[in-house]
Amino acid sequence: MPTATTSLKRSQSSHTDKKAKKARTSNAASEKTIKRSRPVTQPLPTGDEGTSEDEDVEAFEAGEGQDVEQGDVDDSRAPKDPNATRESHQAQRVLQQQRRAAKPHSGLLNEAKQAWSLARQKDLTKEERAKHVKSLMDVVRGHVNEIVFKHDASRIVQTVVKYGGAKERNEIALELKGKYQALSQNKYSKFLVTKLIRLCPTHRTSILLEFQGNVRRLLLHREASGVLADAFELYANAYERSLLLKDFYGKEASLFTFTTGSAEDKEKSKLGLAGLLHGADKERRRRLLTAMQENLTSIFNNPDKGAVSHAIVHRALWEYLVAINDLEDEVERETLRRALFESCQDVIAEMVHTKDGSRVVRDFIAQGSAKDRKQIVKALKPHVERMCKDDEAQLVLFTALDVIDDTKLTAKSLVADIANAASALYASPQGRRSLIYLISPRTRRHFTPAQIALLAETDSVRAKTSKKDEKVRSEEIRKAASESLLAWLSEKSAEVVRDPGGSLITGEIMLSSEGDKTAASKAILGLLSTPYPSSDPAAPHLITLPHVSRLYKLLLQGGHYSQSTKSIERSPSFSPLDFATQFIQIVGKDNTVSMAKEEAAFVVAALCETVVSAGDEGAEARKALKSWLAGDVRKELAKDEQQRGRRVLLEQIASL
């Protein structure tokens, strides 16, 4: 039998293992890198987003990506005899070892792989990993530049960068100086470049400077495109971004501006194209805009390369569009904007997922003609559901709803698709905002001041390019969305109301939509008709959920509480009396009385207040409530007035 000391040691060991496992999990979570925003034209990933630069060795261990030697034995042609097959495999291994040994740096790679196999293990303490990484660095030091282009050696160097300290990272960054452009174009070493940009901030500027003069070409390169996109969107500061953008401004800007590296030049460079155009004469302005137009067109003419979806291109495009809008000559301004729109109209959907791309498309919608707007809507229609779930892309949809006068077009192409996707949207904050915007646009209850300010950027242009009154347009959009949303709520109320986010969208649909809400009200109130309190502790009654009780109180009040007026602002398109009457009929006496005695006193108090404020119209409902709550029920409630909501409820019962 184990002794007490043995049991104690086992317990301590188990506790230590759990703490170590928890620490490793925490470290892994903290090291997880953010990813670039995904274009709405790309399908959502089913699992992790592809193979990233952090996945160091699993594919290599499985043989993935290893070069196939000519003359290797084909397993499919191996003899069926087990002994012959074994001999064939042994001969193949010997042949492969001989060929690898004949390659340059074979001894170095073998030694590095032995140290690498120890350093890359996941279940290591900090001290053990530092020891193995130091050994690995001692092997590759001075030879990084020679081996880094190989697929296996590149992963070895990545491991040093990933797990090593600042000293090891800086050593590797210095050894590779002058080679970053070539490294970014290699399908193996490109991950190393991204790692160094992310983890070596002191060398980031010098690395990005090596790309100058070739940024546009590299953006159209299959391997290098992602390196530049990650650097610009995820890791670079304002000055470093300006270094990458400078290539879009043309050779004149690259050769003769911001070349000293002084603090003054750095500040000017952060202004981008606006800084170059400030104080420039008419001829120089024309040259800069012409060069930028040609450079952007070269990107748009190669949509299959993927560069049109990157934030760096969208930033350059937005700077160019702002410069056009600032031109004094209206004819020139319209000519350049028309040429720009025609060059990129086919790739509009590739832009909406970034901040600058969203601004570009929203400006196109606001400034465009009816034909232009129709073309944009046509391009966006296949991606409406994905756009609703994206913070930047949904702003494009909202601007289209705000600006386009042809509400029949938006109702058919946008509103219908958003409303039909309600079941997939209501669970996320972005999706709920998309649904709410159809019936209650720019409400401060669901949209932040920053979001409202972004949407308001096109208001001044809308006043010139849109003819329909703003209120009329909103009413038509609301009417087009109401029927579908109410029908969805009637069908899915059980799952929607139970969800905290779903209860929010339920309240907005009921208060702000137009049309007959009888079916939706019955469906919502039917959820409370089950016996209260619930006999099953594992399935509590719906009204016990805080967000659900707030929803029913909101609907019985008929509107939201306003902090400015210190009163309830009732919705003109919702009748709280009708809802209260249905509440009495569907929920019934037993549940209403039980709710008053338990956790839903505030809900019953709102019910009483509504029928009292209705006057003669609510006389019948008031009479029913008085018969239910007066007498013994009221006395029972008065025994403990301090219980949550009871004092308010007693006041309302007294007014019946």
pLDDT reported for residue 91:
78
Measure the CA–CA gap between 365 and 342, rounded to whole angstroms: 13
Q: Tell which residue, 479, 601, 446, has the closest CA to residue 532.
A: 601
Indicate the SS3 state at residue 562.
Answer: strand
Q: What is the DSSP letter of 74?
A: P
Is 578:622 a contact under the CB 8 Å cutoff? no
pLDDT reported for residue 535:
82
Q: Is the pLDDT of residue 233 over 50?
A: yes
According to the per-residue pLDDT averaged within each range, which of 9-18, 45-54, 256-265, 311-320 is highest? 311-320
Q: Is the pLDDT of residue 337 over 80?
A: yes
**Prediction pTM value:** 0.85
- Mean pLDDT (whole number) for 461-477: 93
Measure the CA–CA gap between 457 and 603, rounded to whole angstroms: 41
pLDDT reported for residue 105:
63
The pLDDT tens digits for 110-136 are 888 888 888 888 888 999 999 999 999
Measure the CA–CA gap between 442 and 435, rounded to whole angstroms: 12
The pLDDT tens digits for 476-523 are 999 999 999 999 999 999 999 999 999 999 999 999 999 999 999 999
Question: What is the average pLDDT score of the chain?
Answer: 85
Residue with the bigger pLDDT between 398 and 256: it is 398
Q: Is the pLDDT of residue 23 over 60?
A: no
Q: How confident is the model at residue 143 (pLDDT cuts 50, 70, 90)?
A: confident
- Mean pLDDT (whole number) for 298-310: 93
Measure the CA–CA gap between 453 and 437, rounded to whole angstroms: 15
- HEC string of 306-322 equals CHHHCHHHHHHHHHHHH
Greatest distance between any 2 Cα atoms in the chain: 101
Residue pointed to by tokens 């709803």: 401
pLDDT reported for residue 8:
40
- Mean pLDDT (whole number) for 585-610: 91
Which residues, at least 6 apart from 383, have a Cβ–Cβ distance to it below 8 Å? 40, 41, 349, 352, 393
The three-point CA angle 391-426-366 to 5° equals: 40
Q: Which residue type, as a one-letter code, is found at position 389?
A: K
Residue pointed to by tokens 């890791």: 235
- Mean pLDDT (whole number) for 165-180: 94
Measure the CA–CA gap between 21 and 27, rounded to whole angstroms: 10
Q: How confident is the model at residue 256 (pLDDT cuts 50, 70, 90)?
A: low
Residue pointed to by tokens 């064939």: 88
Radius of gyration of the chain (CA): 33
Tokens coding 135:
């050994």
Ramachandran quadrant class, 142 (left: phi over 0; alpha: psi -120 to 50; beta: rest): left
pLDDT reported for residue 639:
80
Q: How confident is the model at residue 430 (pLDDT cuts 50, 70, 90)?
A: very high
Measure the CA–CA gap between 597 and 592, rounded to whole angstroms: 9
Q: For residue 560, what are the β-bridge partners?
A: 569
The pLDDT tens digits for 611-634 are 999 988 989 999 999 999 888 888
pLDDT reported for residue 625:
92
Q: How confident is the model at residue 48 (pLDDT cuts 50, 70, 90)?
A: very low
Which residues, at least 6 apart from 508, have a Cβ–Cβ distance to it below 8 Å? 435, 436, 439, 440, 443, 446
Measure the CA–CA gap between 144 and 139, rounded to whole angstroms: 10
Give me the percent of the chain exceeding a pLDDT of 90.
61
Give, in order, the Cα–Cα distances in Å from 613 to each of 609, 616, 617.
6, 9, 9
Indicate the SS3 state at residue 560.
Answer: strand
Tokens coding 478:
């609301």
**Strands annotated E in 401-557:** none
Measure the CA–CA gap between 412 and 301, rounded to whole angstroms: 31
Q: Tell which residue, 584, 446, 572, has the closest CA to residue 513.
A: 572
Give me the percent of the chain exceeding a pLDDT of 70.
84
pLDDT reported for residue 277:
83
Tell the burial category of 148 from Cβ atoms under 10 Å away from its Cβ (0-12, 13-18, 19+): buried
Which residues, at least 6 apart from 568, have a Cβ–Cβ distance to it below 8 Å? 557, 558, 559, 560, 561, 562
